[in-house]
Structure 1
Amino acid sequence: MRRLRALLATVTAGLAAATCVTAAGPANALSGSANSPSRAACSSAVSIESYSDALDKTTYEGTFVGNFSALAVDRDGAIAALSDRSSLFTLDPKTLKPRSVVPLADESGAALDSEGLVVDRDGTRLVSSETEPAVRRYGRDGAVLGRLPVPDALRVAPAGRAAPNQTFEALTLFPGGRTLLAGMEGSLSGDTPGLVRLQTWQRHDSHGSHGSHGSHGGSSHQDFRLAGQYGYRADTGLGVVETAATPDGRLLVLERGFTSGVGNTVRLYLADLRHATDTRGVETLTGQNGVRLVRKTLLADIADCPSLGATAKQPQPNPLLDNIEGMTITGRTPGAHSALKVLLVSDDNQGATQTTRFYSLRVRL
């Protein structure tokens, strides 16, 4: 925990250097798409500027564009968009049009249930799969470069205590690039339902240089080793589907659920790992017995956003809603009262009742 506190102090002091929010956001791609006033309030902290369905049910170079489970900003400002069906797209940051697509696979060539995405500081891609679960490092060409260690308890039963399709749905890298975090979507067997584990790794440069960017895909010079683990309480009926580290070392957490005949619930929280108990040695997570859970504050329920004229293909509390699953911070607004530019995307599951939809938000912390 001392390492995490030191990290948070460092990134707070070095806010201006944080690389995760330096890229220009895709406002131009979304502006005007909803024919509605910009910055419409969802809450006192969050406003929605626009949305876009332009990529819904489209193809690019013979690959279906959709099934998006994660977003990240590439080093050149482009948007990396991960499909949970083993495809990684590069999207233009202004138009969101696909520029390229790369197939992904595991070490044996099998398809992935790819859910989380980070573009590391050397340009390689860290991708989580919730099948095992696993976090693998890929080159820009899609070649597997390495694999991170995973605690046994987080593996899918019977190897561990996790339920299928309830593992590493979220993945983010803290500013400074030294701490990686993966969020479990659901609870482990034996843990209190609704309490999920957030697993971290700490980067250790093999030559002892904390400034090394690596020269061979980052796998040999930038080893991530298992570090702290923390308990997070998701709302009843919801799971953690994405996280994004903020410049000051906190987390945006996206929680999502679905009720047949009613639709989706999607809420955005601000979470703080400081003062949370390291739960690596806690076999049964109950939120009691002196265990301090990650603190969270509701920023917005997306159902409370103005609909902006959006339409839904199935019942929804707000027709703007869909199966929102991906999130990244793309930049900051200028001025003394600046806000984070946040891009969301929904996973249409390649189905007729869901939509691939991008959302442009402004989030004030």
Structure 2
Amino acid sequence: MTKRFAATAAFVLLSTVTVSATDIGATFTSACPFGDCAAGISLSYLGEFVIPSGQMEHGVEFGGISGLDFDAATGHYIAISDDRSDKAPARFYELDIDVGASGLKGVSVVKHVTLKGKNGEPFAAKTVDPESIRLGKDGIYWGSEGDAKVLLPPFIRVTAPDGSFVREFPLPEGFAPTADKLTGIRDNLAFEDLAVAPSGDVFVGVEAALYQDGPKPSLTTGSLSRIIRFDGKTGEPKAQYVYPVSPIPQAAATAAAGNDNGMSEMLALDDHRLLAVERSYAEGFGNNIKIMMMDLAGASDISATPSLAKNDQRVVPARKSQLLDLRAIGLVPDNIEAMSLGKAKDGTDVLILGSDNNFSTSQKTQFYAFKVLSRPQQ
């Protein structure tokens, strides 16, 4: 997604920094998120690698990285580009990420694969907005954000390794864009997030509230994002939950300048705990990236709630707790939209973050790596 520009949950920062944040080996620990010490997580910084905008790979401009996942079969990563078939047909990449105990050394492109529509052909320009990608049990799961301006619905599809269409998940009622903007997705704030749990269940999140669920984030109020839980095997929706996006953390340089905040990615740790990226931007300041942990255990199923703004029933949102504020630990993040657990070359468990450069010369494709020292226990 191009992102340049009160129902919130309180969170507690429990991180401890052992050395300078930008040093390899700096450690960040959240011992008891939500007061639950079984959910503790500890990360060690392994560095940054940047691919400048404009770099050509296999005859195609590289960029727009909006989703990332690890393929244990190859030891490589798959990364989706949010190019709307403008610079080249919509596609995902296979990446070799060189990371180990000594740090993040490089990211190279192995190949790219063209995504195909139901007709077996590449997507025409402006007919798709790829934003997320995960490996599932029967193929590669990926999401398109849609385009509310032209009433193009979002979707989640499964593709084969060669990019060909396999199946599509049904879109629950209330998510399709509408001309009157009374219900449905907001433009550029739709299916940005995708996670696959160990059980095979698939989680899909919108970046900020649907029109019927309340406002998008402001400097003083948060936003109620919906998360859909699908049965990965059947593709049928099983539940919906509320994720409370925080208020915009930083004002823009002037009142007329733009700023925003939203959930730009999710990653399943188990069948109820997920990591989420809250990505904000303020003109004159830049991006602010926070990594949250959420827990869906005990959260209300809102599948039968057509509007959160016009609802008199009790709703329990997902619990969330802040794990990392990248700026607060001394990093200068770009537009982080991708997140994956994976394996380093030496077998170490790692967490990789990636940014969408929007194919802009003022931005960059940026990767951060962290060693996973410990993670939640069931």
User: Shorter-chain TM-score: which interval?
Assistant: 0.7 to 0.9
Partner of 2:273: 250
State yes or no: 1:262 paired with 2:285: yes
State yes or no: 1:290 paired with 2:314: yes
State yes or no: 1:181 paired with 2:190: no
Shift of the alpha carbon at 1:200?
1.0
State yes or no: 1:323 paired with 2:335: yes
Equivalents in 2 of 1:326, 1:37: separation in Å?
23
Shift of the alpha carbon at 1:87?
1.6
Equivalents in 1 of 2:95, 2:368: separation in Å?
15
Partner of 1:128: 143
Equivalents in 2 of 1:189, 1:249: separation in Å?
26
Counterparts of 1:265-280 in structure 2, within 5 Å, are 265-280=288-303
Shift of the alpha carbon at 1:279?
0.4
Equivalents in 1 of 2:326, 2:74: separation in Å?
30
Equivalents in 1 of 2:321, 2:295: separation in Å?
9
Partner of 2:149: none
Equivalents in 2 of 1:146, 1:297: separation in Å?
35
CA contact (8 A) 2:157 2:169 kept: yes
CA contact (8 A) 1:42 1:301 kept: no
Please list the CA deviations of residues 236-280 of structure 1 after superposition, one character each: whole Å capped at 9, or x if unmatched: 132111000014641000111111111111110010001000001
Q: Which residue type is aligned with residue 124 of structure 2?
A: A
CA contact (8 A) 1:345 1:359 kept: yes
Equivalents in 2 of 1:198, 1:181: separation in Å?
6
Please list the CA deviations of residues 82-106 of structure 1 after superposition, one character each: whole Å capped at 9, or x if unmatched: 1011220001142421111011243
State yes or no: 1:65 paired with 2:62: yes
Partner of 1:92: 96
Change (3 A) 1:324 1:288: farther
Please list the CA deviations of residues 293-336 of structure 1 after superposition, one character each: whole Å capped at 9, or x if unmatched: 000010011111234xxxxxxxxxxxx210111001114999xx
Change (3 A) 1:352 1:55: closer
Worse-matched range after superposition: 55-64 or 262-271: 55-64
State yes or no: 1:154 paired with 2:175: yes
Shift of the alpha carbon at 1:147?
0.9
Equivalents in 1 of 2:323, 2:277: separation in Å?
10
Partner of 1:304: 328
Shift of the alpha carbon at 1:235?
0.7
Please list the CA deviations of residues 110-146 of structure 1 after superposition, one character each: whole Å capped at 9, or x if unmatched: 3420011111124x21110011110111111111111
- What secondary structure does 2:231 align onto? strand
Equivalents in 2 of 1:332, 1:299: separation in Å?
22
Equivalents in 1 of 2:229, 2:94: separation in Å?
27
- What secondary structure does 1:52 align onto? strand
Q: 1:39 aligns with which of 9, 25, 35?
A: 25
Q: Which residue type is aligned with residue 320 of structure 2?
A: K
Task: Give me the TM-score of the superposition, normalised by structure 2.
Answer: 0.73
Equivalents in 1 of 2:25, 2:312: separation in Å?
40
Q: 1:346 aligns with which of 343, 350, 355?
A: 355
Change (3 A) 1:340 1:274: farther
CA contact (8 A) 2:114 2:163 kept: yes
Equivalents in 2 of 1:105, 1:189: separation in Å?
30
Partner of 2:246: 235
Q: 1:191 aligns with which of 213, 217, 221?
A: 213
Q: 2:81 aligns with which of 61, 80, 83?
A: 83
Equivalents in 1 of 2:325, 2:369: separation in Å?
15
Equivalents in 1 of 2:22, 2:279: separation in Å?
25
CA contact (8 A) 1:40 1:306 kept: no
**% identity of equivalent residues:** 27
- What secondary structure does 1:256 align onto? strand
| Structure holding more helix per residue | 1
- What secondary structure does 1:154 align onto? coil
